[in-house]
Amino acid sequence: MRLKLVPAETNWDFFRFSTLAMIGSGAAVIASIVLFFMVGLNFGIDFRGGTTIRTEANSPVEVGEYRDALDALGLGDISITEVFDPTFAEDRHVTMVNIQAQEGEESVSPDMIAAVEAALQEVDPTITFPSVESVGPTVSGELVQTAVLAVMLAIGAVLIYIWLRFEWQFSLGAVAALVHDVILTIGVFCLLQIQFDLAIIAALLTIVGYSLNDTVVVFDRVRENLRKYKKRELKEVLNLSINETLSRTVMTSVTTLIALISLYVLGGDVIRGFVFAMIWGVVVGTYSSVFIASTVLEKLGVKRDWSKPDGGAGTQFSNVDA
């Protein structure tokens, strides 16, 4: 007996929910954009400049006492976050201290770090500082640019690839889906105020890759079925293709989620935000490749005459292993 999360044969009408999905997704996208402008992302020092000090102590942390000790130094905006992790031992108390970039200074001065460390040691003599990281404002500005550029480039490259392999309608459908995923991920980071640093950009690009992976598999089947059922309506073909690939879609999403969830729980607090972004991305990516990408494709329509290559850029290449 096999474990099956999806019946062997399904014939669900996904397009029955397409209007609902479009409205829901549209609302979520708008909400994310509003959140981004109203609340904003909780940028880490990679993007904002400043210093992050990780502290570890044996006695419980009194964030208030830490704050009092540090406020006396007059370093401007300081945030202190206590970190909890199931993998920590009972007497391990970790915080992250974020200090804003100091006026007129590229990099932190050693004196400042020494002063901060001394002040905290005053509060708790057992305290240690496993990591101290600081990024100057010039570099952080460039990192923001590079990050935005990287995401745009990835989306652009994918747009072109799918256009070459399929048709432009497929390309737009896929890109709509992954822009949706990226925006929703940024939205959820705004909402939960999880620290947004360089690693999250890596996660975003992975989401782009993953979301695409799913979409492409569905589209590949659509292309095949369009050739097979020349007379059937596009909507029907799309629905059939989604149903045929559904078992695979669920299977892959579940294995990926299994791996990611174990990393989320056991992988330590340093990469938790990163893993969270990817888990969210897999869930949203799976949803969007089924509902968003196909719906966009259905609305745009598609050229049906696959048998006669017309010499267009798309079809020549797409026949290579057809």
Partner 1 sequence: MLNIPTWNRVLIWGVVVLGLAFAMPNLFYDRVERRNDAVTAIEEAGGDPADLAGDLGGWPSYLPSSLVNLGLDLRGGAHLLAEVQVEEVYEARMDSLWPEVRNTLRDLRAEVGGIRRQDAPAGELHVLIGNSEGMATALAAVRELAQPVVSLTGVGASTLEVEARGDVIVIRLSEAERAATDNRTMIQSVEIVRRRVDEVGTREPTIQRQGQRRILIQVPGIGSAEELKRLIGTTARLTFHPVTGRATSADAEAPAREMIVPDRDNEGLFYRVESSPVLTGEMLTDAQPSFDQNGRPAVAFNLNTTGSRIFCDYTQNNIGAPFAVVLDGEVITAPEIISAICQGSGQITGSRNVAESTELAVLLRAGALPAGLTFLEERTIGPELGADSIAAGEIAAVVAGIAVLVYMGLSYGLFGLFANAALIINVGLIFGLLSLIGATLTLPGIAGIVLTIGMAVDANVLIFERIREELKTAKGPARAIELGYEKARSAIYDANITTFITAVILFTMGSGPVRGFAITLGLGIITSVFTALYVTRLILVIWFERRRPKKIEV
**Residue 254 touching partner 1 (CB under 8 A):** yes
- Please state, in angstroms and rounded to a whole number, the distance separating the CA atoms of residues 129 and 121: 10
Residue 115 binds partner 1 (CB under 8 A): no
Q: How many CB atoms within 10 Å of residue 27?
A: 10
Asked if 313 is part of the footprint of partner 1 (rule: CB under 8 A), the reply reads no
Estimate to the nearest angstrom the gap between the alpha carbon of 138 and the chain centroid.
26
Of the pair 6, 31, the CB lying nearest partner 1 is at 6
Query: Is residue 162 near partner 1 by the rule CB under 8 A?
Result: yes
Residue from 78, 83, 198, 300 touching partner 1 (CB under 8 A): that is 198
Interface pick for partner 1 out of 58, 107, 121, 243 (rule CB under 8 A): 107
Q: Which is nearer to partner 1, 27 or 258 (CB)?
A: 258
Q: How far is the CB of 58 from partner 1 (least distance, A)?
A: 14
Considering only 78, 202, 234, 240, the residue that binds partner 1 (CB under 8 A) is 202
Helix (H/G/I), strand (E/B), else coil: 75 = coil
Among 165, 227, 235, 304, the residue binding partner 1 under the rule CB under 8 A is 165
3-class secondary structure, 94: strand
Distance CA 167, CA 171 (A): 6
Residues of span 83-102 touching partner 1 by CB under 8 A: 87
Nearer to partner 1, 35 or 199 (CB): 199
Q: What angle do CA 217, 219, 225 make, to 5 degrees?
A: 110
The reply to whether 153 sits near partner 1 by the rule CB under 8 A is yes
What's the min distance (Å) between Cβ of 128 and partner 1? 8
Distance CA 113, CA 233 (A): 68
Nearest-approach distance from CB 273 to partner 1, in angstroms? 11
Residue for token pair 């200074």: 105
| Among the residue ranges 14-22, 158-166, 231-239, 294-302, the one whose residues contact partner 1 (CB under 8 A) | 158-166
User: Is 275 a binder of partner 1 (CB under 8 A)?
Assistant: yes
Beta-ladder partners of 98: 52, 79
Q: Which of 75, 194, 212, 242 binds partner 1 (CB under 8 A)?
A: 212
DSSP letters spanning 257-303: HHHHHHHHHHS-STTHHHHHHHHHHHHHHHHHHHHHHHHHHHHH---
108 sits near partner 1 (criterion: CB under 8 A): yes
Positions 278 through 307 that interact with partner 1 (CB under 8 A): 278
118: contact with partner 1 by CB under 8 A: no
CA distance 215 to 146: 27
- Binding window for partner 1 (CB under 8 A); candidates: 17-25, 231-239, 270-278, 305-313: 270-278
Collapsed DSSP state (helix, strand, coil) of residue 17: helix
Task: Show contacts with partner 1 in window 34-73 (CB under 8 A).
Answer: 54
Distances (CA, A) of 57 to 61, 131, 250: 8, 13, 44
Identified binder of partner 1 from the candidate list 81, 258, 303, 313, rule CB under 8 A: 258
SS3 50: strand
